[in-house]
Structure 1
Amino acid sequence: MDDYRAVRELLPAPPLSPEVERAGRERLAAAFAQERVRRSRRAVRWGVLGLGLAGVATAAAFVIAPTVFPRGPATSGTVAQADGKRFLLVAAASVASMSDEGAWWGSTEVHGWQFHEPGGRYVLRESESIETWIPANPEGRTWYRQTPQGIKPATPQDEAAWRADGSPTSWTYDKPSEKGHSGVVRAEPGEQRTWSTEDWDFRILTAGKPLTKMSEVPDTPEGLKALFDADDRTTIDTAARLLFFAPVTSETRAAAYRLLASTPGVAAVGQVTDALGRAGQAIEYESGEFAPPNYAGATRTRLVIDPASGRPLSIETRSAADGLLLTYTAIQDSRWADDNPLKETK
């Protein structure tokens, strides 16, 4: 038997880079050679930042209590896929090997919004980074650092048009921009903020019902689909939020990849560069959930993934008409760690 046949079948079309292919083969070969040790569950409390919204005022938390789920076979939930989506299965195998150990779940996200200057001559990009540290201890506090990064032209072409406009550092909107700006908008960054929160009584709503326990977060594609109990579009949105933002186990993250691979409505884009200039493979689907509040047109959501590491890179909302990037949330880093660097800052 050719042990690498499955790897070759999982590699996407258009083909992955040699580095990605080699990493996928090495990870899946290791999976064939030994049975994975099931990692212990833990009690954690996690927050999810509202996509496409400024700051963390829209953050929600959900309490997770330990439990154990029956494991299915490694291929559970995978069905015949269109060639271009097979990289999701490579990503699932890669992410399943990541460590779940640590006292803190830390992530650094970059949120960005693109909108036209008042005259419509060029596109501006506003961004901010948000560092979040969520404790495994349910009695601990969640810590945040928000760093506004200001407003600048979105692309080199926009920068040229901005210079031709006299390189302004502020703009006046008589009617709201696509992001909702009105009045005078200034380019300079705002003030950095660091803070922590007590226990929250918010809950994440999935398909119209609250999730409050780990027993409601399965680690198989079938279990996640049954939990969401929703139409395909809502299922994709919820799987994406869980994959990108929740400090769940590696098995649950892998299950979310497999669920995305098998859900109708997900289309492969191929190799792309995300909003931070990183190379990855992407899928797109129709979704109004992450669209800017003042954008009237139809939008598509793009998920950019690094199959070799299994890490999600960014969620991007684009115009369905011309592909213009409207909003994005890019994951610069996410990991379990023993220490929280923000804890001693206040």
Structure 2
Amino acid sequence: MPDDLLQALAATRPDLDPAPDQARRDRDLARALASPATAHPARRRGRSRWKVLGLGVVAAGTVVAVVATTGTTPPTPQSRPSGTEAAPAPLSAREILLAAGASSLKAPANEGDFLYTHWISGRQLSIPGKDYLLDSRMEQEMWRAKEPGHYQYMINRRLGTTLASPADEEAWKADGSPRSWTFEVPPLMSPSGGMIKSMDPVRIKLEPAATAPDVWRHVSDFGVGRIGSRLATPENLAELPTDPKALYDRLLHELTAMADAAPKEHQADLAEHRYLFSWEIFRWGVDLIARFPVSPALRSAAFGMLSYIPGVESRGETTDPLGRKGQAIALTDQTDSGSVQNGKLIKEGTLFDTVLIIDPSTGTALATVDQISKPVWPPSDKQGQWRSYEIFKESRWIPALPMSRLKNAEHSR
């Protein structure tokens, strides 16, 4: 986030005790964001992990994972020379999200008959006994027709598997520069000693980028995803409220209704519901911001909606997997990934935090990442490792398909 926007927002903090009224805070932020010093040109805008909802509903998405971020703990007050100003306090998640929502309103509404999305998905791979990580990526482009019954096209490009960083490459060279690895993963055991999961031997190798992409097509009903209980079609998205709190309440109400309607053996307890609901609303918010065909007003509301989710916090400035600077908004994981067995959520592995990296000055999402915070299983995983990630490149309506690139598409089954 540029310094002028950070300073303008930080200057809106009233030095009051008790805490200031939130409505006043929002008005102050709006005034700061409307000042000429915070005006920035809009950019073009650019998925999450498998997760058990604890109620018989599985949320599917592209898994993602992260970069190191800077902390946001305010510095300890100390004396300073006369005439100097104190450094502005770090911004809260709410302030950053409000700034991004205000900036996103400046983007023009986009029109066309086909939704084009472009992203890169990847993950970091660990190897038992090695102190380096590998990075594997896939670049994907997709075209969806607004009207149902048309072909949906996708181009996949395998970007290869390489060392994750220069430091990882140096450690790999010191290990003799191996090109492949095969290893056993011990089974995951429950606290009572029963086996929850086992795996076949894992085989990993360094691979160059593919020389040619894979091009696919299939008939679709505009399957861009789901929001709440419905397909995320343009018509359904247009019915969502553009007030942040109303949008949060709508999605929470839908999740509650889905939980109440689930078979009793698939229901989790209230605490698990609350956390899993938070995660699911966070995921939908990212979809609305970065992937779905929404209006600037709904995208702005989605930014604001994230600030109502319990546990959402700012992690300060960071960089996404492409090295682009942004602000990290995190939802800390409170339970392992797992499955429902006999009505109970059985924990099955590593704790990780979901992080959304945004550019508040343009109101765009740069990436989502899942960062391992507590390695549990498999044992080779490392704290801070990018379990998976997704980089948002572009998302917009276009008037026609680029058939010169799609004419040799194979029909997917």
TM-score, shorter chain, exceeding 0.5 = yes
Instruction: Give the C-alpha shift of residue 237 in structure 1.
Output: 2.5
Spell out, residue by residue over 1:48-103, the C-alpha distance to the aligned partner (whole angstroms, 9 max, x if none): x56479xxxx779xxxxxxxxxxxxxxxxxxxxx9322121111111112122232
Whether the 8 Å CA contact 2:145–2:222 is kept in 1: the answer is: no
2:206 is aligned to 187
Gaps of 5+ in 1: 14-23, 31-48, 61-81
Whether the 8 Å CA contact 2:320–2:357 is kept in 1: the answer is: yes
Instruction: Give the C-alpha shift of residue 254 in structure 1.
Output: 0.6
1:35-184 correspondence to structure 2 within 5 Å: 51=49, 83-85=91-93, 86-103=95-112, 104-175=114-185, 182-184=201-203
Structure 1 residues 182 and 6 mapped into 2: Cα distance closer, same or farther (>3 Å)?
A: closer
Structure 1 residues 5 and 308 mapped into 2: Cα distance closer, same or farther (>3 Å)?
A: closer
Instruction: Decide which of 295, 299, 304 is 2:357's aligned counterpart.
Output: 304
1:222 is aligned to 245
Instruction: For 2:10 and 2:201, locate their aligned partners in 1 and report how far apart those are by CA, in whole Å.
Output: 48
Structure 1 residues 211 and 345 mapped into 2: Cα distance closer, same or farther (>3 Å)?
A: closer
**Identity across matched positions, percent:** 25
Instruction: Give the C-alpha shift of residue 278 in structure 1.
Output: 0.6
1:8 is aligned to 8
Structure 1 residues 92 and 236 mapped into 2: Cα distance closer, same or farther (>3 Å)?
A: same
Amino acid in structure 2 at the alignment position of 1:184: R
Instruction: Give the C-alpha shift of residue 184 in structure 1.
Output: 3.0
Instruction: Give the C-alpha shift of residue 252 in structure 1.
Output: 0.9
Spell out, residue by residue over 1:262-283, the C-alpha distance to the aligned partner (whole angstroms, 9 max, x if none): 3331110111011111100111
Instruction: For 1:292 and 1:150, locate their aligned partners in 2 and report how far apart those are by CA, in whole Å.
Output: 29
Amino acid in structure 2 at the alignment position of 1:314: A
Structure 1 residues 253 and 274 mapped into 2: Cα distance closer, same or farther (>3 Å)?
A: same
Structure 1 residues 158 and 27 mapped into 2: Cα distance closer, same or farther (>3 Å)?
A: same
Amino acid in structure 1 at the alignment position of 2:8: R
Instruction: Give the C-alpha shift of residue 335 in structure 1.
Output: 2.7
Instruction: For 1:206 and 1:93, locate their aligned partners in 2 and report how far apart those are by CA, in whole Å.
Output: 23
Instruction: For 2:159 and 2:140, locate their aligned partners in 1 and report how far apart those are by CA, in whole Å.
Output: 11
The reply to whether residue 266 of structure 1 matches residue 312 of structure 2 is: yes
Whether the 8 Å CA contact 1:131–1:145 is kept in 2: the answer is: yes
Structure 1 residues 234 and 304 mapped into 2: Cα distance closer, same or farther (>3 Å)?
A: same
1:252 is aligned to 298
Partner secondary structure for residue 90 of structure 1? helix
Structure 1 residues 9 and 271 mapped into 2: Cα distance closer, same or farther (>3 Å)?
A: same
2:230 is aligned to 210
Spell out, residue by residue over 1:224-266, the C-alpha distance to the aligned partner (whole angstroms, 9 max, x if none): 2132124433322221232222121111111000111233311
Gaps of 5+ in 2: 14-29, 37-46, 52-59, 63-89, 189-198, 256-276, 340-346, 375-382, 408-413
Whether the 8 Å CA contact 1:115–1:177 is kept in 2: the answer is: no
Q: CA RMSD in A?
A: 4.0
Partner secondary structure for residue 99 of structure 1? coil
Moved over 6 A (4+): 4-7, 10-13, 24-27, 288-295
Instruction: For 1:262 and 1:254, locate their aligned partners in 2 and report how far apart those are by CA, in whole Å.
Output: 14
Instruction: For 2:130 and 2:6, locate their aligned partners in 1 and report how far apart those are by CA, in whole Å.
Output: 50
Whether the 8 Å CA contact 1:219–1:255 is kept in 2: the answer is: yes
Whether the 8 Å CA contact 1:274–1:304 is kept in 2: the answer is: yes
Instruction: For 1:192 and 1:95, locate their aligned partners in 2 and report how far apart those are by CA, in whole Å.
Output: 33
Amino acid in structure 2 at the alignment position of 1:192: P
Instruction: Say which one has the larger Rg.
Output: 2
Instruction: For 1:177 and 1:112, locate their aligned partners in 2 and report how far apart those are by CA, in whole Å.
Output: 25
Aligned length: 290
Instruction: Decide which of 355, 366, 369 is 1:316's aligned counterpart.
Output: 369
